[in-house]
Amino acid sequence: MKRILKSGIILLATLFLTSCAKNNIDTQKPKEVKPSIVKTKKDNASPKKDKDYPVLIEFAQTVQKWLNHPKDVGVTSVIDAKGKNLIVTTSNDFSGASEEALMQLAEQIQKLRDTVHETYTTTNKELKKPLLVIKDKTNKTYVTESEDSTLTVDK
Protein backbone atom coordinates (compact mmCIF):
# COMPACT_ATOMS: atom_id res chain seq x y z
CA MET A 1 0.00 0.00 0.00
CA LYS A 2 2.84 2.37 0.88
CA ARG A 3 4.50 1.54 -2.41
CA ILE A 4 1.35 2.37 -4.36
CA LEU A 5 0.89 5.60 -2.42
CA LYS A 6 4.54 6.55 -2.95
CA SER A 7 4.26 5.81 -6.69
CA GLY A 8 1.07 7.85 -6.84
CA ILE A 9 2.68 10.81 -5.10
CA ILE A 10 5.67 10.66 -7.45
CA LEU A 11 3.32 10.53 -10.45
CA LEU A 12 1.32 13.44 -9.09
CA ALA A 13 4.46 15.48 -8.46
CA THR A 14 5.70 14.74 -11.99
CA LEU A 15 2.38 15.80 -13.51
CA PHE A 16 2.36 18.94 -11.39
CA LEU A 17 5.91 19.89 -12.38
CA THR A 18 5.11 19.23 -16.05
CA SER A 19 2.07 21.45 -15.72
CA CYS A 20 4.17 24.18 -14.10
CA ALA A 21 6.76 23.97 -16.87
CA LYS A 22 4.02 24.25 -19.49
CA ASN A 23 2.54 27.25 -17.66
CA ASN A 24 5.97 28.94 -17.61
CA ILE A 25 6.28 28.51 -21.37
CA ASP A 26 2.76 29.88 -21.87
CA THR A 27 3.43 32.92 -19.68
CA GLN A 28 6.35 33.98 -21.83
CA LYS A 29 4.00 34.66 -24.74
CA PRO A 30 2.11 37.95 -24.70
CA LYS A 31 -1.59 37.38 -24.18
CA GLU A 32 -4.48 39.55 -25.18
CA VAL A 33 -6.54 40.56 -22.18
CA LYS A 34 -10.26 40.63 -22.83
CA PRO A 35 -12.46 42.86 -20.71
CA SER A 36 -14.67 41.00 -18.26
CA ILE A 37 -18.38 40.93 -18.91
CA VAL A 38 -19.22 40.69 -15.22
CA LYS A 39 -18.42 43.81 -13.23
CA THR A 40 -17.40 43.33 -9.63
CA LYS A 41 -16.67 45.70 -6.79
CA LYS A 42 -12.93 45.93 -6.38
CA ASP A 43 -13.12 46.52 -2.64
CA ASN A 44 -14.83 43.12 -2.21
CA ALA A 45 -12.10 41.27 -4.11
CA SER A 46 -9.56 39.58 -1.89
CA PRO A 47 -5.99 39.57 -3.27
CA LYS A 48 -5.37 36.18 -1.64
CA LYS A 49 -8.48 34.71 -3.25
CA ASP A 50 -7.55 36.11 -6.65
CA LYS A 51 -4.09 34.56 -6.39
CA ASP A 52 -5.02 31.19 -4.88
CA TYR A 53 -8.37 30.44 -6.50
CA PRO A 54 -6.95 29.06 -9.79
CA VAL A 55 -4.57 26.87 -7.76
CA LEU A 56 -7.49 25.64 -5.66
CA ILE A 57 -9.45 24.77 -8.80
CA GLU A 58 -6.49 22.73 -10.06
CA PHE A 59 -6.22 21.21 -6.57
CA ALA A 60 -9.87 20.05 -6.75
CA GLN A 61 -9.31 18.58 -10.21
CA THR A 62 -6.30 16.65 -8.93
CA VAL A 63 -8.29 15.27 -5.99
CA GLN A 64 -11.04 14.23 -8.41
CA LYS A 65 -8.55 12.42 -10.66
CA TRP A 66 -7.12 10.55 -7.68
CA LEU A 67 -10.56 9.58 -6.36
CA ASN A 68 -11.47 8.22 -9.80
CA HIS A 69 -8.17 6.34 -10.24
CA PRO A 70 -7.71 3.66 -11.60
CA LYS A 71 -11.36 3.38 -12.65
CA ASP A 72 -13.82 6.25 -13.03
CA VAL A 73 -16.35 5.79 -10.24
CA GLY A 74 -18.26 9.00 -10.86
CA VAL A 75 -16.75 11.24 -8.21
CA THR A 76 -16.55 14.99 -8.82
CA SER A 77 -14.81 17.56 -6.68
CA VAL A 78 -15.00 21.34 -6.91
CA ILE A 79 -13.99 24.35 -4.87
CA ASP A 80 -16.84 26.56 -3.71
CA ALA A 81 -17.01 30.20 -4.82
CA LYS A 82 -15.33 31.46 -1.65
CA GLY A 83 -12.41 29.07 -2.05
CA LYS A 84 -13.01 27.66 1.42
CA ASN A 85 -14.59 24.22 0.83
CA LEU A 86 -13.66 21.23 -1.30
CA ILE A 87 -17.02 19.75 -2.27
CA VAL A 88 -16.78 16.07 -3.20
CA THR A 89 -19.91 14.62 -4.83
CA THR A 90 -20.29 10.89 -5.44
CA SER A 91 -22.58 9.03 -7.81
CA ASN A 92 -23.87 6.93 -4.90
CA ASP A 93 -26.95 7.42 -2.72
CA PHE A 94 -25.92 7.54 0.95
CA SER A 95 -29.45 7.54 2.41
CA GLY A 96 -29.08 3.90 3.54
CA ALA A 97 -25.42 4.10 4.57
CA SER A 98 -24.39 3.81 8.20
CA GLU A 99 -22.63 6.65 10.00
CA GLU A 100 -19.59 4.40 10.46
CA ALA A 101 -19.35 3.70 6.71
CA LEU A 102 -19.70 7.40 5.91
CA MET A 103 -17.00 8.26 8.46
CA GLN A 104 -14.61 5.68 6.95
CA LEU A 105 -15.21 7.07 3.46
CA ALA A 106 -14.70 10.63 4.70
CA GLU A 107 -11.44 9.70 6.45
CA GLN A 108 -10.09 8.11 3.26
CA ILE A 109 -10.99 11.19 1.21
CA GLN A 110 -9.51 13.44 3.92
CA LYS A 111 -6.19 11.51 3.80
CA LEU A 112 -6.09 11.80 0.01
CA ARG A 113 -6.87 15.53 0.22
CA ASP A 114 -4.07 15.97 2.78
CA THR A 115 -1.60 14.12 0.52
CA VAL A 116 -2.50 16.30 -2.46
CA HIS A 117 -2.27 19.41 -0.26
CA GLU A 118 1.26 18.45 0.84
CA THR A 119 2.27 18.19 -2.81
CA TYR A 120 0.77 21.57 -3.68
CA THR A 121 2.38 23.36 -0.74
CA THR A 122 5.85 22.59 -2.09
CA THR A 123 5.32 25.45 -4.55
CA ASN A 124 2.45 27.34 -2.86
CA LYS A 125 3.64 27.57 0.75
CA GLU A 126 0.66 29.60 1.98
CA LEU A 127 -2.05 27.56 0.25
CA LYS A 128 -4.75 26.98 2.84
CA LYS A 129 -6.23 23.48 2.97
CA PRO A 130 -9.89 23.61 1.87
CA LEU A 131 -12.44 22.05 4.22
CA LEU A 132 -14.07 18.83 3.09
CA VAL A 133 -17.78 18.57 2.25
CA ILE A 134 -19.09 15.21 0.98
CA LYS A 135 -22.40 14.96 -0.89
CA ASP A 136 -24.21 12.12 -2.62
CA LYS A 137 -25.93 12.05 -6.00
CA THR A 138 -29.02 13.75 -4.53
CA ASN A 139 -26.78 16.71 -3.60
CA LYS A 140 -27.51 16.18 0.11
CA THR A 141 -24.55 16.92 2.38
CA TYR A 142 -23.58 13.93 4.51
CA VAL A 143 -20.15 14.80 5.89
CA THR A 144 -18.61 18.17 6.73
CA GLU A 145 -15.23 19.09 8.13
CA SER A 146 -14.71 21.84 10.68
CA GLU A 147 -11.74 24.21 10.99
CA ASP A 148 -10.03 21.83 13.44
CA SER A 149 -10.20 18.94 10.88
CA THR A 150 -13.01 17.18 12.78
CA LEU A 151 -15.37 15.27 10.49
CA THR A 152 -19.09 15.38 11.27
CA VAL A 153 -21.63 13.00 9.75
CA ASP A 154 -24.96 14.72 9.02
CA LYS A 155 -27.45 11.91 8.57
How many angstroms separate the CA atoms of 101 and 99, rounded? Answer: 5
pLDDT for 148: 93
pLDDT in tens, the chain (155 residues): 666 766 667 655 555 555 555 554 445 544 454 544 444 444 455 544 557 888 999 999 999 999 998 888 899 999 998 889 999 999 999 999 999 999 999 999 999 999 999 999 999 888 899 999 999 999 999 999 999 999 999 87
What is the predicted pLDDT for the residue at 143?
95
pLDDT at 25: 47
Question: For position 48, what pLDDT does the model report?
Answer: 47
46-153: which CATH topology? GMP Synthetase; Chain A, domain 3 (3.30.300)
pLDDT of residue 72: 86
